[in-house]
Structure 1
Amino acid sequence: MASSALVSKLEANVEIKASPDRFHDMFTNKPDHVHRASYDKVQGCDLHQGEWGKVGSIIIWDYVLDGKAGVAKEVIEAMDPDKNLIALRIIEGDLLEKYKSLVATIQAWAKSDGSGSVVRWTLEYEKLHEGIEHPESLLQLVVDLSKDIDTHLTALPN
């Protein structure tokens, strides 16, 4: 049984101007376009197995975190288009050198005042040991990535 000190969760909400549907569509059906919106953070995204936007599909991300290139292979674990939600589990890559498990859940919803959306990132993870830091720099990366995607989406016609 894992120590509860090793299992944790980080969350961040990001306010964006784009609609929740467009943001969700970018991550589910067009993640290979994310590097166009944020080329300094994501160098590439390739479909390894399955289909874009389908549970069980495997995606490989090439990214930069803390100034170092990294690779993450993720499986789409869950998706709910009605809630603009997708959950991605890391199954291979650099992050697993520090974390026994890591799941990123992304959900977007419209703001009540109609002025855009909120994107919530939830990182649920288990550290390999006490000496490993919490993935706060990864959370900051995805917050910044969300802002880049918003800029990209709001510059494009609907």
Structure 2
Amino acid sequence: MSKVLEVATPIRSSPDKFYDFFKNHTSDLLTVFPASFQSVQVLEGEDGKIGCVKVWNFIAGGISQMLKLRTEAINDAERTITYKAIEGDLMILYKVFQFTIAPGNGVAKWAIEYEKTTELVPPPEIYGVFSISITEVVDLYLLTH
């Protein structure tokens, strides 16, 4: 059974700019947040389109990881984007792992939906913390660019 971990972080940049960054420019995370994002490769489709598949190599919680993400849903009216993990290190711990980004006025919300492979697996709190870090770095970048 899936559960949802939600985090929210204040943002000072425009929600439209924040949304546009995650819809069309996520590969820029390599430049914006090089301490955590090591590489990204588009395997299918293109940024800003449902079905786009990318392989990310990143560090979260001090652990180097690989994750293949597919853009599952984009809702321009509500400014939400959902990405689903389809392969990678996270899939050892979680049968289901997907997250939705929803920037609003003064806040960016992340909802991480997950289903653990066993009861011994912890909730993905490390990724909630990682989402907050990403939000803070991207917000600062957008305020200065």
* TM-score of Structure 1 vs Structure 2, range by shorter chain: over 0.9
1:42–1:64: 8 Å Cα contact kept in structure 2? yes
1:41–1:145: 8 Å Cα contact kept in structure 2? no
Deviation at 1:41, TM superposition (A): 1.6
Structure 2 residue 111 is the aligned partner of structure 1 residue 122: yes
Distance (whole Å) between structure 2 residues aligned to residue 84 and residue 46 of structure 1 = 24
Question: What are structure 2's unaligned runs of at least 5 residues?
Answer: none
Distance (whole Å) between structure 2 residues aligned to residue 35 and residue 11 of structure 1 = 25
Question: What are structure 1's unaligned runs of at least 5 residues?
Answer: 111-116
What percent identity do the matched residue pairs reach? 29
SS at match of 1:32: helix
Q: Which runs of 4+ in 1 moved over 6 A?
A: none
Q: What whole-Å deviation, never above 9, does each CA across 1:79-127 have from its counterpart, x for those lacking one?
A: 01122110000000000010001110001112xxxxxx21100000000
SS at match of 1:82: coil
- Partner amino acid for 2:66? V
Partner of 1:17: 12
Q: TM-score, normalised by structure 2?
A: 0.96
Deviation at 1:45, TM superposition (A): 2.4
Q: TM-score, normalised by structure 1?
A: 0.88
Instruction: Supply the RMSD in Å over aligned alpha carbons.
Output: 1.0
Say how many residue pairs are matched.
145
Distance (whole Å) between structure 2 residues aligned to residue 45 and residue 84 of structure 1 = 23
Within the candidate set 65, 72, 83, 1:77 is matched to: 72
Within the candidate set 95, 104, 110, 1:109 is matched to: 104
Distance (whole Å) between structure 2 residues aligned to residue 102 and residue 68 of structure 1 = 17
1:41–1:141: 8 Å Cα contact kept in structure 2? no
